[in-house]
Chains A and B, each alone.
Chain A
Amino acid sequence: MPAIQGIQLSKSYRHYQVLRNVSFEVAPGECYALFGPNGAGKTTLLKVLATLQKPSSGRFEMMGYDGIQDRNQVRGVLMMIAHGSYLYSELDAVENLRFAAGLRSLSPTAREIKLALDRVGIGAFADFKIRYFSEGMKKRLSIAKAILIRPKVLLMDEPYSSLDERGIAMMNHFIRESLEQGAAVLMTSHNRVQSAEVAGKAGVLHQGVLREIAVKDLVAPHELF
């Protein structure tokens, strides 16, 4: 059973069709890297899969749950790391992690939280309010959140943006570890070389149409779109 299966997904905003009959599969333990120019519909596809937007037509399944009928079950298996950090500025790093875990009925210990923060390299900033965090630090904290929650499906919108070199290496290490634990990852990216290190499948979304490509094409010196 695929972890994520998109079946003829389409999405329109008034008369503008963003996604056109997009179909794809991501198996458990597999990473699908999605490329495409700005405005191609990559983020829209992630928002549809994250149950934030209803597809205009088509359907999708996540871990066997119907993406529209069983939205709450789908929400229980997924987590998204996106441009917005989903963090509260007046809370510190630990409080943000406790809040995120609490909403999912998880209660990580202080040690688990410390380990997660240390792993993403911001252990020294545990009691700093998020308003003082840089975008890269916020991205690292989002990874710490994922380490604690351990979702079965990870949706990542440009996971390498705002990260320094160490951060990118840490992100890829985290993705590989998640894949080893059986999670499915669907990520959008503009970073072909870094994505090629973890992706098992790749696709190009252009003008709303998805075309699958070989992962080895990611590192080839020709243009994807």
Chain B
Amino acid sequence: MNFFNVIRWLAWKDLLSEMRSRENISSMFFFAFIVILIFSFSFSMDQKTAQELMPGIMWVAFIFTGIIGLGKSFTAELQNDCLENLQMNPIPRGAIYLGKLVSNLLFMLVVEVILFPLFVIFFNLDIFEKIPLIMLILIAGTLGVSAVGTLFSAMTVQIRAREVMLPILLLPLIVPVIIGAVEATGGVLQGESVLLYRPWIELLIIFDVIFTIVSFWVFEFILDY
């Protein structure tokens, strides 16, 4: 039971800290908001072009926004040597990973849920009946980014050039998530048959499962000697 308790306590601590400081979510939100503004004013698009371009722009904004949040996930633990304390506690390393994954996933999803309507407004899209599918793709894509990002955030936290190293390590590995999420979102927005974009959603789910399990297992060796 301690395993699930640790996940709960870590997620509780991260969420409560974030609710009070709003450091992560506000910087993530403003970054993504600026990306939306820049892209929406840079191109003059009809609705068809917007449907084609929006998935790519949206996921680029979400992923770079996510990297900002993921980068802070473990650096926050460096304050007052809290990371040492986590390492010294008799708790499964995998539970630390999952606790951090839960909070990172929630931070990213909150920002995405706030930003998505802005994308719809700025790109003038009609997507009301497609929301459940879009939500599924958002969750699957964000879980993939968070699963790998949480691992790399822990791996890079002790090195000096961590702000640079995290995207350098993370982006190549999440290429399947980016392609899958963009293709699936594009398919939904353009009203394609489910059969055409279902393989992309399946790719996202398979990526999530594999990389969550692998990261969970590898984490044991990262936070311990």
Q: A residues touching B (Cβ–Cβ < 8 Å)?
A: 50-54, 71-73, 75-76, 78-80, 82-91, 95, 99-100, 102-105, 129-130, 138
Contacts and interface: CB of A to CB of B under 8 A. Distances in A.
A86 B84 contact: yes
B88 A99 contact: no
Contacts of A90: 16-17, 20-21
A216 to B, nearest CB: 34
Contacts of A89: 17, 79-80
Given A86-B82, A86-B84, A91 B90 contact: no
A83 B85 CA distance: 12
Given A87-B80, A103-B6, A129-B20, A50 B88 contact: yes
B5 interface: yes
B46 interface: no
B16 A103 contact: no
A80 B80 CA distance: 13
In the complex, the 10 A-B pairs of residues with the closest C-beta atoms, listed nearest first: A84-B81, A86-B85, A76-B90, A90-B17, A75-B90, A102-B9, A54-B225, A90-B20, A85-B80, A105-B2
Contacts of A102: 5, 8-9
B88 A75 contact: yes
A73 B90 CA distance: 7
Given A51-B88, A53-B225, A54-B225, A99 B13 contact: yes
Given A73-B90, A75-B89, 17 more contacts: A52-B84, A75-B88, A80-B88, A85-B81, A87-B80, A87-B82, A88-B82, A89-B79, A90-B16, A90-B17, A91-B16, A102-B9, A103-B5, A103-B9, A103-B89, A105-B5, A138-B80
B87 interface: yes
B88 A52 contact: yes
Interface of B: 1-2, 5-6, 8-9, 12-13, 16-17, 20-21, 79-82, 84-91, 224-225
A153 B106 CA distance: 37
B179 to A, nearest CB: 37
Central interface residue in B2, B13, B16, B90, by most chain A CB within 10 Å: B90
Contacts of A72: 90
B1 A71 contact: no
Given A71-B224, A102-B5, A91 B81 contact: no
Nearest to A73: B90
A51 B20 CA distance: 33
Given A76-B90, A91-B17, A103-B89, A82 B84 contact: yes
B76 to A, nearest CB: 8
A52 B88 CA distance: 7
